[in-house]
Structures are given as C-alpha cells and as structure tokens.
C-alpha cells in the first residue's frame, strides 16, 4: 500500500494566515500540521508517500521534508493546479500508484489513540474501500455515513442540511487500485469539484464499502478552522506533557524503524 497526503487547497477559512502560507505548514503546538497525517501513514508501515500540493507551496514542502530518506521513506511531490476536489488526487497519482492499494489522508487531519496503528492496520488489505467514521455534534459540516445496527452502511451524504446521522466520514480513506479508474468516471459536482463522496457511493453500490467506526477513545481533529487549530494545539501540548510522549513526531518514528 502506498500513501497520499492531500495538502493543496486555498485554506480560505484560515485567512489571513493562509494568504501567504500553506495551511498544512501552520504550527500545531510544536510541529507543522502536515507532520500529524504523515505520522499516521508512517506508523502503519507506509513508506512510499506522494504529497499533493499547490504550485506556490511545492518548494516549501520539499524544503521541509526533502525526499524522505532521512525518515526511512520515499517522498514524491505532485502539483494540483486547482482545488478540484479530493477525488482528483487519484488521477494525479496514477503513475505513482501503479498497481498498488492506497491510503489517502487529508493534510489537515489529526488522529490520536494509543493503539491507532493496530486499529488501522487491520483494514490495509482492503478489497474495495474502507472509510473511518467518527461521531460529531455538527454533522452538517462533513460527509455523513448512515449505518444500521450492525454498522453496515445505509446511505452517504455530502454536507447535508438535515443529516440522517451524526457519523462523519473522516479524512482517512483506504482503497484498492480500482479507485483510479473510478475517479476517472466522475463528473464535477454542483460545487465544481470531484467529490470523494461520489467515489465512496460507487463502492457502496457495489457492496464493497467497509466502514470502521472509530471508538470513543480515539481523538480526531479536522484542523480547518481557527477553533480547531487552537483546540488541536492545546490537546497535543496537554497529552505530550501529561504522558511524556511525542505525538506526530516523524523523527521519532524514523528512529524506531531501525
């Protein structure tokens, strides 16, 4: 399995900070934001990672992370000229992915659990798609998955006005290699974007969409607002000081590989 981090977009909800600087390089306590999603991919054993970003920010990521060798990884970079939706990432990554399965994580997502890697590794050999759901209080802000009593998917909606459930689809997705061809069949939504929800809906219709509901001990932040940016920083500082551990430290992860 290879990894993709989507770190493009305009970050308009964080203006004026993002007017001259990538959202994904903003500090979350003591590390750049991108360290947190990158550490998730690394901790589950993914070493080949493509970072998709804008033309303006490309050199900043390359300067920060280089080719990944110092972390025991191999990083590549790809420019997304326009923020045309998450699903476009698979088309941009076609040459990079070749015949491999893929884990895509959004560059502004933070996950924490003491046993997170074990939770996620159980789904890496996915036949179809696996998405990770999380109960939220503001489901209208997210893609929403409705589940039956056995946690099997019933319906999927993208930022609904009247959500059928409170289970948000987080920014971490596992797919088999079919996702590339599926992405090529999509048409832009009313928002003008190639929607990841449409990919998930196709897998759902094929009965190949698996949903894992993250347990209540798992912490998830979508760090796209000033509030969540601050909340994530406070959380990281609190946990690191309380437990005397490092969260999202790719240097520490790299050291543990040896």
d(CA 129, CA 210): 6
Residue 174 has pLDDT above 70, yes or no: yes
Kindly list the distances between the CA atom of residue 254 and the CA atoms of 6, 22, 148, 249, in Å, as whole numbers in the listed order.
Answer: 21, 25, 40, 9
- pLDDT tens profile 91-111: 999 999 999 999 999 999 999
- pLDDT tens profile 52-93: 999 999 999 999 999 999 999 999 999 998 888 999 999 999
- Classified as helix, coil or strand, 45 is coil
Bin 99: left if φ > 0, else alpha if -120 < ψ < 50, else beta: alpha
Residue 9 has pLDDT above 90, yes or no: no
Share above pLDDT 90 across residues of the chain, in percent, rounded to a whole number: 79
Nearest to 235 by CA among 224, 225, 221: 221
Alpha helices in the chain (DSSP H): 35-43, 58-65, 88-92, 94-97, 116-121, 179-184, 196-205, 226-243, 250-257
Of 42-51, 119-128, 208-217, the range with the highest mean pLDDT is: 42-51
Kindly list the distances between the CA atom of residue 10 and the CA atoms of 15, 82, 85, 159, in Å, as whole numbers in the listed order.
Answer: 9, 9, 12, 19
- pLDDT tens profile 110-119: 999 989 999 8
Q: What value does the mean pLDDT take over residues 28-46?
A: 97
- Classified as helix, coil or strand, 2 is strand
Q: Categorize the per-residue pLDDT at 258 as very low, low, confident or very high, splitting at 50, 70 and 90.
A: low
d(CA 227, CA 248): 20
């Amino acid at each position: 399995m290879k990894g993709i981090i989507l770190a493009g977009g305009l970050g308009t909800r964080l203006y004026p900070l993002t007017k001259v600087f990538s959202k994904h390089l903003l500090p979350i306590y003591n590390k750049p934001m991108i360290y947190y999603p990158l550490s998730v991919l690394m901790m589950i054993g993914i070493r080949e990672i493509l970072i998709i970003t804008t033309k303006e920010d490309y050199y900043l990521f390359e300067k920060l992370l280089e080719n990944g060798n110092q972390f025991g990884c191999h990083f590549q970079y790809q420019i997304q000229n326009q923020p045309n939706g998450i699903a476009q990432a698979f088309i941009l990554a076609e040459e990079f992915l070749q015949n491999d399965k893929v884990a895509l994580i959004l560059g502004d997502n933070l996950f924490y659990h003491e046993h997170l890697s074990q939770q996620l590794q159980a789904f890496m050999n996915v036949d179809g798609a696996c998405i990770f759901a999380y109960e939220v209080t503001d489901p209208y802000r997210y893609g929403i998955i409705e589940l039956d009593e056995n946690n099997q998917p019933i319906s999927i909606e993208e930022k609904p006005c009247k959500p059928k459930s409170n289970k948000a689809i987080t920014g971490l997705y596992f797919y088999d290699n079919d996702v590339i061809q599926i992405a090529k069949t999509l048409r832009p939504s009313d928002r003008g974007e190639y929607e990841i929800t449409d990919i998930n809906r196709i897998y759902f219709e094929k009965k190949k969409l698996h949903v894992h509901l993250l347990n209540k001990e798992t912490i998830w932040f979508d760090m796209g607002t000033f509030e969540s940016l601050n909340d994530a920083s406070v959380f990281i500082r609190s946990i690191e000081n309380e437990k005397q551990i490092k969260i999202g430290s790719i240097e520490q992860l790299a050291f543990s590989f040896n």
